[in-house]
């Protein structure tokens, strides 16, 4: 086979178009795998584009509707007109093999894209001063995207999926359905937490403890359970993050460690915490101004290096960039892609998010889903939304709430919503389980209201 023949198949392109002309109902399946750019021949691409437009307008793509549409678009004559369209279905080998023809067209299109990708990479390697590591991250991300599209969709019988779940329960692997414990039992009681493929959003005003909560979750998984965790810290540099991890794990006030003013007992705690952190499979990337594509590429690389990677943390969502001018659209794209990334890597992603100032103007400043900053898409994409709230910031004179924090679970796709109380230790910037008492209500159900989904 000539090398050029591997880049396109005119016969298969004609076969796909001819099959749709003979049976327009086939277009629904074809469009799941092909778009106009999948066709090598320009006139084939124009005809297919017209088929999609006619179908989307509610009409049936046949000779007459296609002619009317393409004449209006100015592509009718260049595409061969009536003679070429009428000949498309004359040499169709077998209508039942439409799926085979579609896959041939898709495979050739993927080859062309792969060739273009290697050329772009070669140009970047020879003409730009970007570090090799950055070029490799981009190449990996682009290749993963291409690979994801190249794999055809295969339907799975629902019975197979149900049997797999039942088998997991019978074999004592029900933990796969329960997620991973967070270290906060009251929080876990609201339903399964940190399930693979799910996006968990931790939101709140600055200074509430979003990063601290994410680090507490990460420490629990990496140190207590020995599971690999990756943290993208776009705001806080690595030394500051490491200091927070150390002081929270040691239980020693941060200001004491900064000043080197620690008692003998505190130094012992610090050294013991240091050993635990060194042994923990915890990875940190503190690259500022990280692009969405780079984040995806680095996450895939980390998953490749650590197949048992249990959690990814993104601190925080609004600092990731995706190259869009409209900020709301950009945030929406980022949240949607993080959700997709969680599914692709089969692990939970915890994304921190800012909220707007609207809650500070209310009598009760506790945040709600409408307070999520810049995009309602975050609420839509997230499997769980948890707000971190400390009322003591708004009413500092009230000694009764000093050191009290609330985790307000405003959305929970797989469990219950409600409010969980935790203890906040500002000296070590960490959360802890409260001391239970007869009046303590660990998980207060949310009041009845609209479905959070």
Mean pLDDT of the chain: 84
Q: Give yes or no: residues 146 and 183 share one domain.
A: no
Q: Are residues 134 and 5 in the same domain?
A: yes
Residue with tokens 């291409």: 146
Is there a single domain that holds both residue 141 and residue 226?
A: no
Asked whether residue 315 is assigned to any structural domain, the reply reads yes
Pick from 422, 414, 417, 415: nearest CA to 442: 422
Q: Are residues 284 and 230 in the same domain?
A: yes
249 CB neighbour count, 10 Å cutoff = 22
Segment 379-389, tens digit of pLDDT: 888 999 999 99
pLDDT digits (tens, 9 = 90+) for 102-134: 889 998 988 888 888 888 888 888 888 877 777
Residue pLDDT, tens place only, 264-282: 898 999 999 999 999 999 9
Is the residue at 239 inside a domain? Answer: yes
pLDDT for res 453: 32
Q: How many helices (H) and strands (E) does the chain have?
A: 17, 10
pTM (global) more than 0.85: no
Give the CATH number, domain containing residue 184: 3.40.50.300
Question: Are 23 and 127 contained in the same domain?
Answer: yes
From the list 312, 389, 313, the residue with the least C-alpha distance to 355 is: 389
User: How many structural domains are present in the chain?
Assistant: 2
Whether 346 maps to a domain, the answer reads yes
Are 102 and 201 contained in the same domain?
no
Residue span of the structural domain in which 15 resides: 1-150
Span 418-440, pLDDT tens digits: 999 999 998 899 999 987 543 34
Q: How far apart are CA 112 and CA 106, in angstroms?
A: 10
- pLDDT below 50 — which residues of the chain? 1-2, 437-453
Q: Residue 293 falls within a domain, yes or no?
A: yes
Indicate whether 220 and 273 sit together in one domain: yes
Structural domain contains residue 171: no
One domain for residues 93 and 194: no
CATH number at residue 101: 1.10.860.10
Region label for 191, one of left (φ > 0), alpha (ψ between -120 and 50) or beta (otherwise): left
């Amino acid at each position: 086979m000539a090398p050029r023949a591997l880049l396109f198949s005119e016969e298969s392109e004609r076969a796909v178009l001819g099959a749709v002309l003979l049976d327009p109902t086939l277009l629904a399946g074809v469009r799941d795998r092909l778009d106009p750019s999948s066709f090598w021949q320009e006139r084939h691409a124009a005809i297919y584009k017209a088929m999609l437009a006619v179908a989307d307008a509610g009409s049936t793509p046949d000779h007459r509707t296609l002619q009317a549409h393409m004449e209006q678009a100015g592509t009718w004559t260049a595409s061969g007109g009536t003679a070429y369209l009428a000949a498309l279905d004359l040499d169709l080998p077998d209508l039942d093999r439409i799926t085979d023809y579609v896959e041939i067209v898709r495979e050739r299109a993927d080859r062309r894209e792969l060739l273009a990708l290697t050329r772009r990479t070669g140009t970047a390697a020879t003409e730009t001063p970007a570090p090799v590591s950055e070029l490799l991250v981009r190449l990996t991300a682009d290749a993963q995207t291409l690979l994801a599209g190249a794999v055809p969709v295969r339907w799975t019988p629902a019975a197979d999926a149900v049997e797999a779940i039942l088998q997991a329960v019978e074999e004592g692997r029900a933990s796969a359905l329960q997620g991973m414990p967070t270290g906060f039992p009251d929080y876990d009681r609201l339903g399964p937490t940190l399930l693979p493929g799910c996006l968990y959003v931790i939101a709140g005003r600055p200074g509430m403890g979003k990063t601290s909560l994410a680090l507490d979750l990460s420490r629990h998984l990496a140190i207590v359970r020995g599971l690999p965790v990756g943290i993208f810290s776009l705001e806080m540099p690595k030394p500051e993050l490491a200091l927070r991890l150390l002081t929270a794990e040691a239980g020693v006030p941060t200001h004491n460690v900064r000043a080197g003013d620690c008692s003998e007992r505190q130094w012992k705690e610090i050294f013991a915490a240091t050993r635990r952190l060194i042994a923990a499979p915890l990875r940190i990337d503190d690259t500022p101004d990280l692009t969405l594509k780079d984040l995806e590429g680095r996450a895939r690389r980390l998953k490749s290096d650590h197949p048992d990677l249990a959690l990814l943390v993104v601190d925080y969502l609004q600092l990731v960039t995706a190259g869009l001018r409209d900020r709301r659209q950009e945030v929406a794209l980022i949240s949607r892609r993080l959700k997709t990334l969680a599914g692709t890597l089969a692990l939970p992603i915890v994304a921190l998010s800012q909220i707007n100032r609207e809650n500070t103007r209310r009598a009760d400043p506790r945040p709600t889903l409408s307070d999520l900053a810049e995009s309602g898409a975050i609420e839509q994409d997230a499997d769980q939304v948890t707000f971190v709230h400390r009322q003591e910031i708004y009413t500092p004179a009230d000694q009764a709430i000093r050191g009290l924090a609330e985790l307000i679970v405003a959305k929970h796709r797989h469990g219950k919503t409600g409010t969980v109380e935790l203890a906040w230790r500002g000296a070590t910037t960490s959360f802890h389980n409260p001391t239970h008492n007869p009046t303590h209500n660990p998980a207060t159900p949310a009041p009845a209201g609209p479905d959070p989904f």
